[in-house]
Amino acid sequence: MTAEHGEGGATRRPKAAVVVAHRIAELISAGALQEGDPLPNETAMLADLGVSRPTLREALRLLETQGVLRMKSGPGGGPVVRRPDPGNLAGAMTLLLQGLGAGFGEALVAWAALEPVAAGLAARAATDEQLAALEEQAARMAGASAGPAFYTENARFHALLAEAAGNTVVLVVLEAIARITAGIGAGISVPRSFRAALADQARDLVGALRERDEAAATAVMAGTMADWQRFVATRYPQLHTEPIRWTPVAD
């Protein structure tokens, strides 16, 4: 674990709880602990890690906030390993963006920049099963009505594309952005003509992916995102300055 740097470049050691959290996370990453496995009881962990009870409990709280653990209540309860979810990043990122005063328009620009990257990666990495799922989802977009139904189907298409890109970092960041903007963007109503155009572009994208044409896939998605940005700017200009707000979500 690397040391932290304070003011003036001075090196300072990380807190003991952070070190302990890192050690536990390493065990999980190495496969020694699987999703759903309970951690050893507190007495055993204290003896194994050689730390105080407050330090251990602080480390466990840290891992819980990062989505690595969940606390099981009731008899036999305690910390249990869980699989981190992009929602964990979305929550932390939303809180940070709110503190920095970021708005929906900025998130939309970031989304528009990353989606063509995902499309290009998917042209190389998508499996036949993923291509079939994207094709089916494009058909669902074509049949969806205005309002929440189309927004949901469109969001699902983009989520499938992020998975097909085969890049975990791209997947997590795109899903986090999608969750950040979902609450605001869900209020957008898409007219029939634009819904049809987006569904056609989705089908064109799947065609480019099937051909393994990275340049064409990137270009199709870039065009889609440019059209979406223009639509929002024209129909919902107030959304560009709508501030991002963090909303707690129950686990």
State pLDDT tens for residues 5-25.
555 555 556 688 899 998 888
Q: How many CB atoms lie within 10 A of CB 195?
A: 21
Q: Which residue has the tokens 């979406």?
A: 228
Q: Which phi and psi (to 5°) does residue 36 adopt?
A: 95, -15
Q: Which two tokens stand for residue 71?
A: 């606390």
What are the distances in angstroms from CA 153 to CA 113, 143, 199? 21, 9, 10
Q: Which two tokens stand for residue 186?
A: 């869900």
CATH fold of 4-81 reads Arc Repressor Mutant, subunit A (1.10.10)
Q: What is the pLDDT of residue 95?
A: 82
Overall CATH class of domain 87-241: mainly alpha
Q: What is the pLDDT of residue 250?
A: 52
Q: Which residues of the chain have pLDDT under 70?
A: 1-14, 87, 183, 186, 248-251
Q: What is the pLDDT of residue 25?
A: 87
Q: What is the pLDDT of residue 234?
A: 93
Q: What is the pLDDT of residue 190?
A: 86
Domain boundaries, the chain: 4-81, 87-241
Q: Which phi and psi (to 5°) does residue 72 adopt?
A: -85, 130
Q: Which phi and psi (to 5°) does residue 51 adopt?
A: -125, 170
